[in-house]
Amino acid sequence: MSDKNLISKNPALILVDIQKAFLEKDYPGFKRNNPNAELISGNILKKWRELKLPVIHVRHSSINPNSKLYKSKPGFEFNDHVKPLNDEIVLTKKVNSAFIGTNLEEILIDNKISTLVIVGMTTNHCISTTVRMSGNLGFDTFLISDSTACYNTQGIDGKTIDCDIIYQSALASLNEEFAKVIGSKDLFNLLA
């Protein structure tokens, strides 16, 4: 894939689950890496708006009323760094992939969008699932590594796996298989 003319590809920015629940220190109860992920996502969104490129916001709506991502909870709201504008598309999902239970694929096809730049939360859950589907559906996909984050995770042996190991492993599993994983500085260079 030639990346030098990224703007000419009319890439859509897909912001996945950048919601206030992930700011709460006890969600999901473990240590988190990359505390600037939402700020970086906001800076990318600002650049997208300046370039008048397509933007699609996706949020998670848990079916569990006790979840911080349940629609009536404060954590369901978009993070202040990425609040949608009135003319931007907002999709709501109930599962990990932004493509399942939404009309995301239809919107992209109808608008002749074949290149996606994906940012959001969390690396090993909704980002991984969305990126994998994006690649499998044939979209030219970029994942911005520093726009996403992971939490410590309990392994099947009961031991805690550090969030940085989860993060690096998730990115490595996606890179060049389902997407091109790049940092935000590299992305801004491609948009210059």
Q: Which residue has tokens 């911080």?
A: 68
Query: Cβ contacts of residue 176 below 8 Å, gap of 6+?
Result: none
91 lies in some domain: yes
2 lies in some domain: no
Q: What is the pLDDT of residue 26?
A: 55
Q: What is the pLDDT of residue 27?
A: 56
163 lies in some domain: yes
Structure confidence by residue, pLDDT tens digits, 176-186: 999 999 999 99
Q: What is the pLDDT of residue 52?
A: 97
Q: Which domain holds residue 163?
A: 7-190
Structure confidence by residue, pLDDT tens digits, 7-30: 999 999 999 999 999 987 655 557
140 lies in some domain: yes
Q: What is the mean pLDDT of residues 116-130?
A: 97
124 lies in some domain: yes
Structure confidence by residue, pLDDT tens digits, 128-175: 999 999 999 999 999 999 999 999 988 999 999 999 999 999 999 999
The pairing of beta strand 115-120 with beta strand 12-16: parallel
Q: What is the pLDDT of residue 45?
A: 98
Do 82 and 38 contact (CB within 8 A), yes or no?
A: yes
Structure confidence by residue, pLDDT tens digits, 25-52: 655 557 899 999 999 999 999 999 999 9
Backbone φ, ψ for residue 15 (5° rounding): -100, 115
1 lies in some domain: no
CATH number for position 90: 3.40.50.850
Q: What is the pLDDT of residue 5?
A: 81
Do 183 and 146 contact (CB within 8 A), yes or no?
A: yes
Residue 1 scores a pLDDT above 50: no
Q: What is the pLDDT of residue 112?
A: 97
Structure confidence by residue, pLDDT tens digits, 67-91: 999 999 999 999 999 999 999 999 9
SS3 at position 28: coil
The pairing of beta strand 115-120 with beta strand 89-93: unpaired
Q: What is the mean pLDDT of residues 104-112?
A: 98
For the chain, what is the domain count? 1
Name the CA dihedral angle for 159, 96, 69, 27, rounded to a multiple of 10 degrees. Answer: 20
Do 15 and 94 contact (CB within 8 A), yes or no?
A: no
98 lies in some domain: yes
pLDDT > 70 fraction of the chain, expressed in percent and rounded: 95
Report the predicted TM-score, pTM, of the whole model to 2 decimal places: 0.95
